[in-house]
Amino acid sequence: MSEWIDLAVYVTVIVMVFVLLPRHGRQFTVPMLADRNPEWLERNRDVVARLERSRWVLNACYAWAAVSIAVLLGAALDLIASPFGAAEKWEVLQGLCGALVIVGMLGWGACALLWFVWLGKHVPPGETRRATLRPRVIGDYLTLPWRIAVEALTALHLAGWIVIGVLGLAAAPKVWWSFAFFVGMSVLFAVFAAMVLRRRSGYLDRVFGEAYRQAEVRGAYTLRLLPVIAGSIAMGELITGADLARLAHLLVAAYVCVMASLFLRLRPAAPVRATPGGAFASDRRSPA
């Protein structure tokens, strides 16, 4: 496999995380303020306008993306020395991408913390609202074929480990330890998916509407496929003796891109805009 494939995958991760996600997230500043305190929003139109014009966080993310891509490209072209010793080039690219994403996310997290500190200091909470409770069922968010596919793949994957262990196709201790590990992962992610469906609604649900929980449930069910994918790779390594770590890292990177794409599809449920009279109003129209 060419290292350029690895480079393309890792550059896609960088672009998703530090270009598309920050750019997409800027549109939620005003809806977040409106959800916290709509009266404050109307009284402080000048502050809101300055916030909407501010681009320093976005520009910082763009700069980090440019630096990260330059480093990855430099490593691919042997223009910079490997910080990981005599590792293969795909390992260098994987390690660099992981380090760059972690450092960038720490910076992004610091910016998010500053934003919430500012929000708590300058925007007092508005009137507390009560949501009407209604039962949620998984069928509201996922189609039956998708749910059946996830359950069937999980069952087939775990059955595969049992078959390998019983037939002695690989070293018995490793097979059964691996089987126990992936059973634990499958149960953990299944419980997480159930908790996502039952969790209490928060401000993100109000900003995004039902689309947020739908994306969350889909992400949780996509997460349930990780043990299947990782277990299949581990199974192949035990049976054939091949080193499939490179493929595993690329699949994890692809999963990050899939999860990011789910968020990129979200839009504010009731976009807030400035009216001709100067007040901020919702684009959502009340039913007649």
Q: Is the pLDDT score of 236 beyond 80?
A: yes
Please give the C-alpha separations between residue 64 and each of 5, 13, 252, in angstroms, as whole numbers. 22, 13, 21
Q: pLDDT tens for residues 241-259?
A: 887 888 888 888 888 888 8
Q: What is the 3-state secondary structure (H, E, C) of the chain?
A: CCHHHHHHHHHHHHHHHHHHHHHHHHHHHHHHHHHHCHHHHHHCHHHHHHHHHCCHHHHHHHHHHHHHHHHHHHHHCCCCCCCCCCCCHHHHHHHHHHHHHHHHHHHHHHHHHHHHHHHHHHCCCCCCCCCCCCCCCHHHCCCHHHHHHHHHHHHHHHHHHHHHHHHCCCCHHHHHHHHHHHHHHHHHHHHHHHHHHHCCCCHHHHHHCHHHHHHHHHHHHHHCHHHHHHHHHHHHHHHHCCCCHHHHHHHHHHHHHHHHHHHHCCCCCCCEEECCCCCEEECCCCCC
Tell me: pLDDT of 67 over 90. Answer: yes
Residue-wise pLDDT for 158-205, tens only, equals 999 999 988 888 777 888 888 999 999 999 999 988 888 887 777 777
Mean pLDDT (whole number) for 51-71:
92
Rg of the chain, C-alpha, whole Å: 23
Q: Sorting pLDDT into bands at 50, 70 and 90, what band is 285? A: very low
Q: Which of 84-93, 207-216, 226-235, 279-288 has the lowest mean pLDDT?
A: 279-288
At residue 270 the predicted structure's pLDDT band, cuts being 50, 70 and 90, is low
What is the mean pLDDT of the segment spanning 16-31?
Answer: 87
| Angle (CA) 85 91 95, round 5° | 85
CA 91: distance to chain centroid?
Answer: 23
Residue 247: per-residue pLDDT: 85
Band of residue 61 on the pLDDT scale cut at 50, 70, 90: very high
Residue percentage of the chain with pLDDT more than 90: 27
Compute how many other C-beta atoms are within 10 angstroms of the C-beta atom of residue 137. Answer: 8
**Which residues lie below 8 Å from residue 213, measured CB to CB, with a gap of 6+?**
136, 141, 196, 197, 201, 205
- Rounded Cα distance between 95 and 88, Å, is 11
How much is the mean pLDDT over the chain? 83
- Residue 273, pLDDT above cutoff 50: no
| Spacing of C-alpha 6 from chain mean position | 20
Give me the pLDDT at residue 33, please.
83
